[in-house]
Amino acid sequence: MAVYRLHVLVCAGAGCVSSNCKAVEAALQDELKKAGIAEEVKVVETGCIGTCDLGPLIVVYPEGVFYQRLTPDDAREIVNEHFVKGRIVQRLLYRPAEDAEPVALTEEMDFFRRQHRIALRNTGVIDPEVIEEYIARDGYAALGKVLSSMSREEVIDEIKRSGLRGRGGAGFPTGRKWEFAYMAPGDEKYVVCNADEGDPGAFMDRSILEGDPHSIIEAMTIAGYAIGAKQGFVYVRAEYPLAVERLSKALQQARDYGLLGENIFGTDFSFDLEIRVGAGAFVCGEETALLTSIEGRRGEPRPRPPFPAVKGVFGKPTLLSNVETYANICPIILNGAEWFSGIGTENSRGTKVFAIAGDINNTGLVEVPMGTTLREVIFDIGGGIPKGKKFKAAQTGGPSGGCLTEEQLDISMDYESLIQVGSMMGSGGLIVMDENTCMVDIARFFLDFTKDESCGKCTPCRIGTTRMLEILTRLTEGKGEEGDIEKLEALALSIKASSLCGLGQSAPNPVLSTLQHFREEYEAHVRDKRCPAGQCLALIHFFIEPELCRGCGLCIKVCPVNAISGSRREPHIIDEELCIKCGACQERCPFDAIVKR
- DSSP label of 178: H
- Mean pLDDT over 147-163 rounds to 97
As beta bridge partners, residue 369 has: 351
Give 6-113's CATH code, choosing from 3.40.50.1110, 3.40.30.10, 3.40.605.10, 3.40.50.800. 3.40.30.10
d(CA 297, CA 549): 64
Q: What are phi and psi of 40, to 5 degrees?
A: -100, -15
Distinct helix (H) and strand (E) counts, the chain: 24, 17
Contact 202, 398 (CB under 8 A): yes
pLDDT band at 153 (very low <50, low <70, confident <90, very high): very high
The alpha carbons of the chain give a radius of gyration, in whole angstroms, of: 27
Cα separation, 170 vs 156, whole angstroms:
20
Strands of the sheet containing 58-61, edge to edge, are 41-46, 6-11, 58-61, 65-67
For residues 190 and 358, give the distance between their C-alpha atoms in angstroms, rounded to a whole number.
Answer: 38
CATH pick for 439-528 out of 1.20.58.760, 3.30.70.2860, 3.30.450.20, 1.20.1440.230: 1.20.1440.230
Q: Sign of the CA dihedral 548, 551, 553, 556?
A: positive
Q: What is the pLDDT of residues 368-377, one digit of tens each?
A: 999 999 999 9
What CATH number was assigned to the domain covering residues 131-340? 3.40.50.11540
pLDDT tens digit sequence for 542-580 = 999 999 999 999 999 999 999 999 999 999 999 988 999
Main-chain dihedrals φ then ψ at residue 512, nearest 5 degrees:
-65, -40
Band (259; pLDDT cuts 50, 70, 90): very high
CA separation, residue 218 to residues 50, 157, 187, 258 (Å) = 23, 18, 22, 12
Cα 577 from Cα 579, distance rounded (Å):
6
pLDDT of residue 502: 80
- Mean pLDDT of all residues belonging to the chain: 93
Please report how the helices 213-227 and 174-183 are oriented relative to each other, as an axis angle in degrees rounded to 10: 40
62-71, 178-187, 404-413, 423-432: segment of lowest average pLDDT: 423-432
Ordered alpha helix ranges (H), 316-431: 323-327, 329-335, 337-341, 374-375, 415-420
Q: Are strands 58-61 and 65-67 parallel, antiparallel or unpaired?
A: antiparallel
| Distances 104 to 19, 117, 334, 364, 381 between C-alpha atoms, Å | 22, 21, 33, 19, 17
pLDDT score of 215: 98
**Neighbour tally for 428: CB within 10 Å:** 30
Distance from the first to the final alpha carbon of the chain:
68
**Most distant CA pair in the chain: distance in Å?**
90
> Residues in the chain, how many?
597
The arithmetic mean of pLDDT across residues 225-254, rounded, is 96
Q: How far is CA 60 from CA 41, 108, 250, 410, 537, in A?
A: 10, 14, 26, 36, 47
CA of residue 155 relative to chain centroid, distance: 30
Alpha-carbon gap, residue 109 to 223, rounded angstroms: 36
> Are the CB atoms for 541 and 478 separated by under 8 Å?
no
Contact (CB, 8 A) for 237 and 195 = yes
Count of C-beta atoms within a 10 Å radius of residue 342:
14
Strands 272-278 and 231-237: parallel
Whether pLDDT at 26 is above 90: yes
Backbone angles phi, psi at 394, to 5 degrees: -135, 130
Please say if the pLDDT value at position 1 is more than 70.
Answer: no
Q: What is the dihedral of CA 362, 366, 370, 371, to 10 degrees?
A: -10
Lowest-pLDDT range, 40-44, 168-172, 339-343, 349-353? 168-172
- Which tens digits make up the pLDDT trace of 324-333? 999 999 999 9
318 beta partners: 190
Q: How many CB atoms lie within 10 A of CB 406?
A: 14
Domain ranges in the chain are 6-113, 131-340, 351-434, 439-528, 541-596
Spacing of C-alpha 455 from chain mean position: 23
Domain formed by 541-596, architecture: 2-Layer Sandwich (3.30)
- Contact predicate 443/511, CB 8 Å: yes
C-alpha to C-alpha distance for 271 and 229, rounded to whole angstroms: 7
pLDDT in tens, 386-439: 988 999 999 998 887 889 999 999 999 999 999 888 888 877 889 999 999 999
CA distance 307 to 325: 19
pLDDT of residue 574: 95
pLDDT over threshold 80, residue 98:
no
CB distance 172 to 211 below 8 Å: no
Burial of residue 344, with CB atoms counted within 10 A of its CB: 0-12 exposed, 13-18 middle, 19 or more buried: buried
What share of the chain in percent tops pLDDT 90? Answer: 82
The yes-or-no verdict on residue 284 having pLDDT over 90 is no
| pLDDT surpassing 90 at residue 454 | no
Which CATH topology does 351-434 take?
Answer: Ubiquitin-like (UB roll) (3.10.20)
Decide if 215 contacts 139 (C-beta within 8 A).
yes
More confident of the two residues 401 and 79:
79
Q: What is the pLDDT of residues 490-536, one digit of tens each?
A: 999 999 999 988 888 888 999 999 999 999 999 999 999 999 998 89
